[in-house]
Homo-oligomer: A and B are copies of this chain.
Amino acid sequence: MTLRIVESPREMRKLAETLRAEGKTLGFVPTMGALHEGHLSLVRASRGECQVTVASIFVNPTQFGPQEDFERYPRTFERDRELLEREGCEFLFAPNRAALYPEGFATAVRVERMTDRLCGASRPSFLPGVTLVVAKLFNLVRPHIAFFGQKDYQQCLVVRRMAEDLDFGVEVRMCPIVREADGLAMSSRNRYLSVTERTQARVLVRALVEANRAYLSGERSAERLIDSMRDVLETVPQARVDYVEVMDAGTLERLNRIEGKAAALLALNLGETRLIDNHILGEALDY
């Protein structure tokens, strides 16, 4: 079966309505394109669980700040289309900007509290832009399950909160981070890295491995785990650290002592590129 490309929101809505009326389970993989193995793992997860998979490609302007990389964000539509087709994805929703944000657009969808920290603190447009566009996409695609990557951990939790709070009836599934052979978390932004930066970027996973090792050895002080990650990050002086945190994995509250499930979360800038990574402490991480 070939991949069918849908550009018009109206057509997407009709299609979703028809598929739902036929009793099909719809899986949805929203992306900004520049697809890598991380995205494709989401398509596979959807294909494994749902009868029909819709991916979307839309580089969403509202989630980029004025100084951020909206203009240079990689756009590789033809290759993305081929990759999705090869995975057996049935539909690709690829609207243009004017179709989603016509003149006079004036609505905001925000999640409070959980968005004031981590990426939300350094990129104030990011999470409100995501919840806005995902609300729109959920209304057009009407999926039963939506698949997001754990790499954007805060985004996953925020989108899940929004979907529950607004009664979308969409289950938000968080799928494991896919990593390169050396451990670097896959990201469309990795292609911005120079050869040197690409090597330096390994410091993210190395810091997480170190925190995980300490955690597995019994360390439960969030502060000491954070310090252990900072020590690793300092070995690459070019890395400008944005945040290093250990937080409750469900609420993203800061912790003193870890008792339940906790996430270690990092963000840094290397040259012009912002990189993030995270890990649920105690889970396997062998690099």
Contacts and interface: CB of A to CB of B under 8 A. Distances in A.
Interface of A: 9, 13, 17, 20-21, 23, 100, 104-114, 131, 135-136, 139-140, 161-162, 165-169
Copies in the complex: 2
B167 A107 contact: no
Contacts of A114: 106
Contacts of A108: 108-112
Contacts of A9: 167
A113 B104 CA distance: 10
Contacts of A107: 109-112, 131, 161-162, 165-166
Contacts of A140: 167
Nearest to A128: B108
Contact of A165 (B106, B110, B113, B165): B106
Nearest to A110: B108
A96 to B, nearest CB: 14
A114 B107 CA distance: 10
- Output the residue of A20, A21, A23 with the most chain B CB within 10 A: A21
A139 B136 CA distance: 12
